[in-house]
Amino acid sequence: MASLGSFLLMATFIVFAYAIAASLAGARRGSRALVESAVGAFYLATALMVVASAVIVQLFVTDNYTVKYVQRYSDALQPMFYKITSYWGGLDGSIMFWVFLLSVFGSLAVYVNRERHRELIPYVVAIISGVQMFFLFLMIVHKNPFETFLVQAPQDGQGLNPLLQNIYMVIHPPSLYIGFVGMTIPYAFAMAALITGHTDDSWLRAVRRWTMVSWLFLSLGLTLGMIWAYEELGWGGYWGWDPVENAGLLPWFTATAFLHSVIVQERRGMLKVWNMTLVITTFFLTIFGTFMTRSGVVQSVHAFGEDRALAWMFTVFMVAILAFSFGWVVKRLPLLKPRYEMDSWLSREAAFVANNWILLIAAMLVLFGTMFPTMSEALTGNRLTVGPPFFNRWMAPLGLIVIALTGVAPLLAWRRSTMANLLDSFLWPVIFALAVSVGFVSLGVRVWSSGLCFALCAFVTATIVQEFHRGGMVRKEATGTDAVTATIGLVMRERRRYGGYIVHLGIVLMFLGFAGEGFKADEQILLKPGQQATVRHYTVRNDGVQVTDDGQKQMVTGHIAVFEDGKRLGTMYPARWFFRKHEQQPTTEVAIRRTVAEDLYLVMPAYELKDQSMSLQVVINPLVNWIWFGFGIMVLGTGIALLPERAFAFALGNVPAEESPS
Amino acid sequence: MARKTGEEPNRSNRAATPPPERGVQATGEVAGLQPWHVLALATMVAMTAGAFFTTGTPIVNVVFVSVALATSALAAVGLYRTLMPLVMPDAGEQIEMVAGRTRAALEREKMLVLRSIKEVEFDRAMRKISDADYQEMVGRLRMRAAGLLRQLDGGGLGYRELIERDLATRIGPAVARAAVVVPPPAPAVSAGVCQACGVDNGADARFCGACGARVGETS
């Protein structure tokens, strides 16, 4: 069975090579038959990867420890669910999972666009096939997931890292991979547009939904990672600016900029070079992030390990991507000239340009901070660490600027805003923001940075409410319907715009959650049995430590009685779990009591079974649940923006010619 | 799967395709097994046989055999799609071309341009754009939409001919011609004013933005 898997990888490599040759030859000669054959080869390669994926899952499920990858990431006691998800648990399998996902997405993208963007399809097939060939080459020559033991195989496996045996860690990698892999599709269409010279906005239309879906899954992957870090790692936070975390964040910045910047090209024929640069950079950063986590150039608890040969292969590939991509951008610069120039800095176009710059600077800053230790070691021999204080110091003001732009940009007019425009649009949101600021400052909240963040969140919320209200009134007057139907019809007719506003609302809520970090309490206390301690308005009492076993792991659980202002809330159970074969890597099981306003977060880092005493970390995290809730709102908004044409058609109705409101 | 002769006739060949005789399926499809029918049937038979022969073994074997056979069928389809265009270049999907672009591409662009016009009109209603800028933007978009409509109407078959052909294949040519009602000549009206609903769409409009009817000629 392992031989079949290896054969399938090689066969897929050859099929992709044929797809490239046939598509390019077909495009050059104008031969539809060759192009159709290339597309068929692409579908064939997808089918072969599906078979290969089925093979590797079968190897895990049947505990076939003759295969090194299975032996490394599974064992007999591992639950079936985690055996299957071990497919992407290690480096080799994760690369194969990447190829599998890109095959499926690529096939779907080619099939959907085969008629609408016929001139681009040969080059899209060629580009995606080229990327696939690189990853298959990695697997065939260096990291084959089907490699077997040459001598007698062990009787049992080592098992998946206990930290990864968690539902969030099951969903987080596929979600991130979907986000990363999905960004290859817009890149392929962009390069096809450059190569064919069709640099108008038709390629943007082809990739807008792909980019949005990929962005959504990237956001989901990042949020799930934050939730996992919060609930599993037990340090009381959700984002540590770890290099692997940053690897996922980098393409998110540039993809966000791209999603906004395309609006300007569609409406005004501007920012063409920006859009090409952003889509190329986003794709490059997905490959760079993969390189970072698999090569060992950065040190992280999340990284797969160190591999110099892999590092060199990725380096060559990344240099090739940059040279090829920006080479074509330079060659096609005459075709990328904007249709119009910017008329005024007080315009929506200018706001989008500012947004592009801020997000790009944020990405470069995070990249610099992440790679600085590696660069310092390469240049000076000393590895200088860059920790959260550096990132927090620089990212906080950038984040506040992004929030401000979120509110300002939708209010500005296209081409130029007049004083009348500005007064009419900004008056109520600014008044509301000032009122909120005064309120918070009077409560003792510091202006920098929490107070400013609250004020900007209030400003953005007010702009969103104003947009919904005014748009609803316009539609109500135009259609003669009631306010509710008019608002639903408004959202459904202007799905991208109002779905985007809902996403912005989600971002606002997440920023509120981030601002709560400034009011955190974190204390470590030693408790003997029956002893209690108070942190702010909570009192915790040690009611003992118990040891239990479920066959797979031994669990040491603390029993903590919790009181708030003297009233008993219940018992919480922070724990430490010791998995068989991974006794040196116990997991920390956090106890969390969640409310809308804050979380009470208990961790038991140390304990003494003989006298039942324990060390207890008590963390109070204000507003943290607004981060998860805000993400849910973001998903809702993105879903609305992605809805097909005929959704909620009952509310669209027949609209007479638009009239300006009196 | 490539479309074969006997399936729904493509638009560019409708002139050569006679209407089907009575008794033939109204959709125009010729009854009978297609290659993908055979493949699907064979796959299902193989999966059933696989499940039968693995009876008594752990369920994971049954699942794997079924999945392996299904994915092998997918691979067979892929191989067919790869080789068939090389062996029979004309047997592939017939795609209608209009003025050098596919009809689907033009239809989609038309839809997007019309949507952009609506967005610009909404921006104007929300006071996000000045009247002068609105006129410039919407004029440019309308010209683009008009050009696309002219290409779609005149580049291949017109919509009238397409509808007649569709009806002819379903209900017979004589009945189809009678069913396509020729509208009465429009009374003389000002340029841009819709005869059906009276909305003024501007001098350059060919179709009404309110009801979609064709706008009358200049009086």
CA distances from B178 to A27, B27, B164 (A): 46, 20, 10
Instruction: Give the Cβ contact number of residue B37 at 10 Å.
Output: 11
Q: Of A640, A172, A657, A224, give the one whose Cα is nearest residue B205.
A: A657
Q: What are phi and psi of A77, to 5 degrees?
A: -85, -10
What residues contact residue A599 under an 8 Å CB cut-off, 6+ apart?
Answer: A592, A593, A619, A620, A621, A624, A625
All residues of chain A having their beta carbon less than 8 Å from the beta carbon of residue B133 are: 414-415
For residue A584, the domain's CATH number is: 2.60.98
**Domain extents for chain B?**
33-91, 97-155, 183-219
Residue A562 has pLDDT above 90, yes or no: yes
Among the residue ranges A285-299, A441-455, A544-558, B16-30, the one predicted with the least confidence is B16-30
All residues of chain B having their beta carbon less than 8 Å from the beta carbon of residue A50 are: 71, 74
Instruction: Tell me the pLDDT tens digit for each residue of A139-151.
Output: 999 888 888 887 7
Is position A131 within any domain?
no
Q: How far does A448 lie from chain B, in Å, by closest CA?
A: 33
Token couple for B95? 């795609």
Q: How far does B204 lie from chain A, in Å, by closest CA?
A: 16
Query: Do A332 and A197 form a contact (C-beta atoms < 8 A)?
Result: yes
What residues contact residue A303 under an 8 Å CB cut-off, 6+ apart?
Answer: A243, A244, A292, A293, A294, A296
Is position A545 within any domain?
yes
All residues of chain A having their beta carbon less than 8 Å from the beta carbon of residue B116 are: 266-267
Q: Which residue's structure tokens are 């204000």? A: A622
Determine whether the interchain pair A660/B118 forms a contact, defined as Cβ–Cβ distance below 8 Å. Answer: no
Instruction: Tell me the pLDDT tens digit for each residue of A26-50.
Output: 999 888 889 999 999 999 999 999 9
Q: How far does A77 lie from chain B, in Å, by closest CA?
A: 17
**Residues spanned by the domain of A613:** 520-625
All residues of chain B having their beta carbon less than 8 Å from the beta carbon of residue A20 are: none
Tell me whether B199 touches chain A (CB under 8 Å): yes
Instruction: Give the Cβ contact number of residue B130 at 10 Å.
Output: 17
CA distances from A586 to A46, A590, A605, B162 (A): 40, 13, 10, 71
pLDDT on residue B19: 44
The DSSP call for residue A162 is: G
Nearest to A660 among B82, B104, B124 (CB): B124
Q: What are phi and psi of B99, to 5 degrees?
A: 50, 45
Nearest to A415 among B102, B133, B201 (CB): B133
Tell me whether B144 touches chain A (CB under 8 Å): no
Residue A467 has pLDDT above 70, yes or no: yes
When pLDDT is averaged across residues B195-218 and rounded to a whole number, the result is: 68
Residue B187 has pLDDT above 70, yes or no: no
Q: How far does A105 lie from chain B, in Å, by closest CA?
A: 16
The pTM (predicted TM-score) of the whole model is 0.83
- Checking phi first, is residue A39 left (phi over 0); if not, alpha (psi -120 to 50) or beta? alpha
Whether the complex's predicted ipTM is more than 0.85 is answered with: no
When pLDDT is averaged across residues A224-229 and rounded to a whole number, the result is: 88
Is position A350 within any domain?
no
Question: Which one has a higher pLDDT value, B64 or A652?
Answer: B64
Determine whether the interchain pair B119/A654 forms a contact, defined as Cβ–Cβ distance below 8 Å. Answer: no
* Helix spans in A145-242 (H): 167-182, 184-196, 202-228
Average pLDDT, chain B: 70
pLDDT on residue A662: 38
pLDDT over 70, % of chain B: 59
Q: How confident is the model at residue B174 (pLDDT cuts 50, 70, 90)?
A: low
Q: How confident is the model at residue B156 (pLDDT cuts 50, 70, 90)?
A: low
Residue B178 has pLDDT above 60, yes or no: yes
Token couple for A498? 């109002």
pLDDT on residue B2: 38
Radius of gyration over alpha carbons of chain B, in Å?
Answer: 26
Is position A105 within any domain?
no
pLDDT on residue B164: 74
pLDDT on residue A44: 94
Instruction: Tell me the pLDDT tens digit for each residue of A316-350.
Output: 999 999 999 999 999 999 888 887 777 888 889 99
pLDDT over 90, % of chain B: 0
Please tell me the total count of domains within chain A.
Answer: 1
pLDDT on residue A286: 93
All residues of chain B having their beta carbon less than 8 Å from the beta carbon of residue A40 are: 78-85
Exposure string for A133-170, b = 16+ CB within 10 A, e = fewer: bbbbebbeeebbbbebeeeebeeebebbbbbbbbebbb
Give which of B62, B82, B90, B110 to mutate to test A binding, by max A Cβ within 10 Å.
B82
pLDDT over 90, % of chain A: 49
Q: Of A462, A278, A246, give the one whose Cα is nearest residue A353.
A: A278
Residue A598 has pLDDT above 90, yes or no: yes
**DSSP E strand stretches across A510-627:** 521-527, 532-535, 538-549, 553-564, 567-572, 575-579, 587-589, 591-594, 598-608, 613-622
- Across A57-61, A101-105, A389-393, the highest mean pLDDT is recorded for A101-105
Residue B145 has pLDDT above 90, yes or no: no
